[in-house]
Amino acid sequence: MDHEADAYRTDLMTITRFVLNEQSKYPESRGDFTILLSNIVLGCKFVCSAVNKAGLAKLIGLAGETNIQGEEQKKLDVLSNDVFVKALVSSGRTSVLVSEEDEEATFVESSKRGKYCVVFDPLDGSSNIDCGVSIGTIFGIYTMNHSDEPTTEDVLKPGSEMVAAGYCMYGSSCMLVLSTGTGVHGFTLDPSLGEFILTHPDIKIPKNGNIYSVNEGNAQNWDGPTTKYVEKCKFPKDGSPAKSLRYVGSMVADVHRTLLYGGIFLYPADKKSPNGKLRVLYEVFPMSFLMEQAGGQAFTGKKRALDLVPEKIHERSPIFLGSYDDVEEIKALYAMEETKN
Ligand code: FDP
């Protein structure tokens, strides 16, 4: 990359310009998606700024404690949720919202309704907040069914029906990765401009990778195929080099690395959690959507992840996602197990 030329580029492709360009390919489009997305972007900018200040905020009072004015300070994940819900409702383009933070779905009042439904985790990887490790926001977007009143049926649909998905990572830089079903594109926040600029057009995941990413602390409870797969990563018998293990424990960071470097991310089922840990609607589906759009695969141990049909809004599923060939290997191990039984 020509960094010098890049520093002086004047023709900046902001995320809004990018989506407007995409939209112009559809003459019937009325700009609703662009408006929705700019509200999601606003939420991401707010959370990015709040995450950056999180360490400093401790000087004036810990989250959950009272501040100088005697008001209770909101925890970062609760604050992020409030910001996203308000931004999405005020966009006037949503009808149903499902957030990791809220037990029930939010149905937008009729005067503010629009055709989209958004499922999201406002601050994923929250156990990493206090040590400054990368965390993120994950979102998926559906369109409403053609019924008058919004219901949870509007979002209890296979991930393959999402019209867009993405995440924003609050790390050494703030990056928003988005797919509207035509490839995956990465935008980096330029703090001086306050704009997300296209820095990673058309991301393609390498066909195979040399990194596996899993919480090995759960190994004693894994099933046969997962155990065999991880064993193979560490002690390959075909002469190939052993894979490296990288696990942040923050889904956005682990999936982001997998997307850019290749390899596989696993959160399998285990004896203690037969459905795994990660949530279908706002973790498994958006990340699987992005993986497939980037040329990778996402598998649940039984089927293509995007073919799942969730019955509950906070349902969980095991997930294996990443480079095409690496996921193909774990699929083969599960297929072998099934023929044995
Ligand atoms: P966290 O518990 O910190 O919020 O689903 C949430 C999540 O993080 C993911 O971001 C992450 O991939 C996973 O859980 C980590 O789980 P383990 O601690 O069990 O490895």
- Of 267, 273, 281, 314, the residue with max ligand 1 atoms within 8 A of its CB, to mutate for a pocket test, comes to 267
Q: Which pLDDT score, from 0 to 100, does residue 65 have?
A: 53
Q: Which pLDDT score, from 0 to 100, does residue 285 have?
A: 98
In the structure, which protein residues have their CB atom closer than 6 angstroms to any atom of ligand 1?
124-128, 215, 249-251, 254, 277-278, 283
Q: State the pLDDT confidence band at 111, using cuts at 50, 70 and 90.
A: very high
Give the distance, in angstroms, between the CA of residue 100 and the centroid of all CA atoms in the same chain. Answer: 12
Tens digits of residue pLDDT in 51-76: 888 776 664 444 555 544 454 556 88
Residue 341 has pLDDT above 80, yes or no: no
Residue 253 has pLDDT above 60, yes or no: yes
127 vs 168 pLDDT, higher one: 168
Residue 6 has pLDDT above 90, yes or no: no
DSSP assignments along 250-289, one per residue: -HHHHHHHHHHH--EEEE--BSS-TT-SSBIIIIIHHHHH
Ligand 1 atom with the smallest distance to the CA of 252 is 10
Residue 219 has pLDDT above 70, yes or no: yes
Asked if residue 162 lies in contact with residue 142, where contact means CB atoms within 8 angstroms, the answer is yes
Asked if residue 142 lies in contact with residue 256, where contact means CB atoms within 8 angstroms, the answer is no
- Whole-angstrom Cα distance, residue 147 to residue 150? 7
Q: Which pLDDT score, from 0 to 100, does residue 89 have?
A: 98
Q: State the pLDDT confidence band at 21, using cuts at 50, 70 and 90.
A: confident
Q: State the pLDDT confidence band at 8, using cuts at 50, 70 and 90.
A: low
Ligand 1 atom with the smallest distance to the CA of 277 is 5
Ligand 1 atom with the smallest distance to the CA of 100 is 5
Most confident of 59-68, 120-129, 238-247: 238-247
Q: Which pLDDT score, from 0 to 100, does residue 60 have?
A: 41
Ligand 1 atom with the smallest distance to the CA of 247 is 20
Residues near 77 by beta carbon (within 8 Å), at least 6 away in sequence: 101, 122, 123, 126, 129
- Whole-angstrom Cα distance, residue 170 to residue 245? 22
Residue 102 has pLDDT above 70, yes or no: yes
Residues near 18 by beta carbon (within 8 Å), at least 6 away in sequence: 185, 187, 198
For all residues of the chain together, what is the average pLDDT? 91
Q: Please report the beta strands in 252-327, taking only residues with DSSP state E, as ranges in sequence order.
A: 264-267, 297-299, 319-322
Residue 312 has pLDDT above 80, yes or no: yes
Residue 88 has pLDDT above 80, yes or no: yes
Share of the chain above pLDDT 90, in %: 79
Asked if residue 14 lies in contact with residue 195, where contact means CB atoms within 8 angstroms, the answer is yes
Q: Which pLDDT score, from 0 to 100, does residue 77 have?
A: 87
**List of domains in the chain:** 15-200 (3.30.540.10), 211-339 (3.40.190.80)
Token readout for 239 is 């002469």
- Of 75, 124, 134, the residue with max ligand 1 atoms within 8 A of its CB, to mutate for a pocket test, comes to 124
Residue 128 has pLDDT above 90, yes or no: no
